Each structure stands twice: as C-alpha cells, then as structure tokens.
Structure 1
Amino acid sequence: MLILVTGGAASGKSAHAERLLCASAAGARLYLATMQPFGAAAETRIARHRALRRDKGFETVERPLGLAGLELPRRYDGILLEDLGNLLANELFDPAGAGEAAFGSTLAGIARLQDCCETLVVVSNEVFSDGLAYPPETAAYIRTLGRLHAALAARADAVYESVCGILLPLKGEKGI
C-alpha cells in the first residue's frame, strides 16, 4: 500500500503520516529521514521529529540521497519517508545527488522502498501556490516536485492533504 500525505509547513502532515502508518502497520516500522542537518533550524526540526516519534516503535535510518541503492536490514510492515521535498532538493542540489536525473532516481528509490514493506507513507510539501517568481533552479525544483506528486498520487492507494492540522482525504477509501 502506498499513501501520500502532503501539506504546507507546520500543517500537521508529519503527525498525520505517523498516525496513518501506526494504524496500518502494527509490526516493524521504519522512519526514513531525508533532511540534512544544515544549520540550527534544521537541527531543531530533526530533534522535534525524533521526539514526536519516540515510543512509537520506529527504527530510524537517515538517508538524504540515493534511495534506489538503499539496503535495509529486513522487510518492514511499514516505512515512513520524511520527506519527499527534502529528498528531491538533496538529489537536485547536492553534488553527490542525481542532478538532472533526480525525478527518475527519486521514483526508483520510492519503488525500492515499496519492495521493502507492506505500507509506505510518503510525506511531502505543498509549495505550489504562493504565486512568487523564483530563480530558474527553484522553479525547476517546484516543477519536478509537482511531477513527483502527480506520479505518486496516480499510483497511491490513498492521498491526503493536511491543512491547519485537519487531514483531508483526496483519494482512497474516504476520498475520490
């Protein structure tokens, strides 16, 4: 099963994603963290997420790049990928990343994760509606993230958007 959870910054999407995964995967659960700890703000977010998932039975793997090559120690009942926006940025802009091949590399990595679990929950960001003009690199990132959302939503069993802490079903049992 593939579940996509999107939302704006501080919308509650991560907490919703954890709850969805815990409800659907009672056994072994993996939290796959993609954020690179650049600066104090990133360190604070990482610490907050670690605290939120404490005592929820997650193993944690930190992997900012190259999901397609990830070797996991076993099969999991559920994996939570936190988050697609960070992973894509890492693949596009990190010198060790996939660069122009980031779209395909990211999809291959997600397919690899699906092979390693019964339920995969992917958390992502809604960064498409501010109406601002961005430099070409940022605009390319936004377009690629949109393409990833479309590709994952088409394959997903369920898609949700978190808005102000409210989880809205867009596709799946309670969605369209």
Structure 2
Amino acid sequence: MLTLITGGCKCGKSSIAEDILSDFCGRKIYIATMEPFGEEAHTAISRHRMMRSGKGFETVEKYTDIQDIDLPDGCAVLLECACNLMANEMFSKGERSPAQKIITGISKLSGRADRFIIVTNQVGDDGIEYPDETMEYIRQMGLLNAAIAQAADVVIEAVYGVPVYLKGAAK
C-alpha cells in the first residue's frame, strides 16, 4: 500500500506517518534523506530521531539514488522526505530529470514493501516568483507529488496535526 502525506512545514506529517505504521509487526525501515548540513539540519535530524525512538524503525540514510536501497520483502517503509530527496538529486548530483528518477526509485522500492509511506511538503503555493533554479525545483516537486498522488492508494493532507484524507480511507 502506497501512502502520500503532504502538508505545510511542521504540521504533523511525520507523526501521522509514524502513527499509521505503529501497528505494523514486521520490519520498519525509515529512509532519511536530509543531509546533515548546518545547525538547522542537525536540529531537525535530532528531533526526528527522538520522535522515532522506541518505535522499532531501522534507519537508512540515503540522500540520493534511493533505487539502490536493498529492502527486505514485506517491510514497511517511511521515506522522509521527498523534498529533501529532490533537492539532493537536483543540486548535489545535478540530475536533469530528478522527478522521473525519484518516481522510478519509489516504484522499485514500493514493490518490495508491504506499506510504503512518503512524506512531502506543499511547495509553490505562495505564488511568488523565484530565481530560475528554484522555480525548476518547484516544478519538479509538482511533477513528483502529482505522480505519487496518482499512484498512491491513500493521500493525506496534514492540517495542524489532523490527517485529512484526500484519497483512500483511514484504516
């Protein structure tokens, strides 16, 4: 089952994702995509590690090339987050079609997992014009989020910590 959780910054997406997987009895894999650059990143990483503590997740730090991860069959996966993965592919690796590359990776990985949850952010809603490379990032994120939502069994928008089901139903 593929689930996409979207929403604004710091609105409870991670907590919702972890709650969905709380009853899963098999192996739980957390794919961490945030590179530990700077104090803000280190703070966010520490906060997420504390949130996951004691919940049975195995952490795989993979900042690019998620298609290369060797997942055990039948596991549950929480990929956090698509926005960091996109930035890493675009700006660290110079990938020319990052949305398609990430979609291919998700397709490969989700085929092995019993449950696969992707956390993403809503970007580009502010209507402000940015430099060209930022506008391309926003465009690529739109392509990625739309493709994942189309393929997903469940799409949830986190609104102030409340899961709003846009596609599929609560289990």
TM-score range, shorter chain: over 0.9
Query: What is the distance in 2 between the residues matched to 1:16 and 1:32?
Result: 16
TM-score, scaled relative to structure 1:
0.92
Partner of residue 165 from structure 1, selected from 142, 161, 170: 161
Matched with 1:12 is: 12
TM-score, scaled relative to structure 2:
0.95
Indicate if the aligned counterparts of 1:7 and 1:126 stay in contact, CA closer than 8 A: yes
1:40 deviates by 0.4
Matched with 2:48 is: 49
Query: What is the distance in 1 between the residues matched to 2:7 and 2:79?
Result: 14
Matched with 1:141 is: 137
**1:110-152 CA deviation, whole Å, 9 max, x = no partner?**
1121122100000000112112111010111111111111111
Structure 1 spans left out of the alignment, 5+ residues: none
Matched with 1:122 is: 118
Structure 2 spans left out of the alignment, 5+ residues: none
1:17 deviates by 0.9
Counterpart amino acid of residue 73 in structure 2? R
Matched with 1:63 is: 62
1:33 deviates by 0.3
1:21 deviates by 2.2
Query: What is the distance in 1 between the residues matched to 2:120 and 2:131?
Result: 21
Indicate if the aligned counterparts of 2:33 and 2:63 stay in contact, CA closer than 8 A: yes
Indicate if the aligned counterparts of 1:67 and 1:112 stay in contact, CA closer than 8 A: no
CA RMSD of aligned residues (A): 1.2
Indicate if the aligned counterparts of 1:29 and 1:76 stay in contact, CA closer than 8 A: no
DSSP-derived class of the 2:22 partner: helix
**1:42-98 CA deviation, whole Å, 9 max, x = no partner?**
0000000000000000000000000112223x224200000000000100000xx25
Indicate if the aligned counterparts of 1:76 and 1:118 stay in contact, CA closer than 8 A: yes
Query: What is the distance in 2 between the residues matched to 1:162 and 1:53?
Result: 18
Query: What is the distance in 1 between the residues matched to 2:80 and 2:51?
Result: 13
Indicate if the aligned counterparts of 2:100 and 2:144 stay in contact, CA closer than 8 A: no
